[in-house]
Amino acid sequence: MAISFHPPQGCIVRVDFDQAFKEPEMVKPRLCVVMSKPIQARKNLCTVIALSTTAPMQVMPYHVELTIPFQLPAYWTQKICWAKCDMVYAAGFHRIDLLRLGKQGDKRIYQTKSLPTTSFQEIQRAMLHGLGLSNLTKHL
């Protein structure tokens, strides 16, 4: 079920890249970090950075190794992953799901915690490198 609100900045969500994407784009559902705050003119979009459990062949300034400090759904059990900050997407909410952790009685439980500030800032810095804007990293 797709979300109907803007998830918090730094939150990890599942994004479905199956629909109409082709390699070398992302082509399967994967975890992503929400990078954007709500923007009035983009009510049903948010900017995300894709995560991967596969280390890059060559680590570049636009890659960040992360240790996820909170619980993930059983499907994504690996706590160490890589933010691929050269893979920036404006994803529609119809593609985005919060991470389901299970149920407590009849109520579903979702992961809505955000990454620590230091990790989020590393991803922001790497995103600037991935966009060819590395000269702006000194401002973070």
| DSSP line for 68-126 | --S---TT----EEEEEEEEEEEEEGGGEEEEEEEEETTEEEEE-PBPPHHHHHHHHHH
Q: What sign has the CA pseudo-torsion 76, 79, 84, 90?
A: positive
At residue 61, the pLDDT reads: 96
At residue 20, the pLDDT reads: 72
pLDDT band, residue 118 (cuts 50/70/90): very high
Taking the complete model, does pTM exceed 0.75, yes or no?
yes
Question: Which contacts (CB < 8 Å, 24+ apart) does range 134-137 have?
Answer: 134/61
Domains of the chain listed by start with CATH number: 12-139 (2.30.30.110)
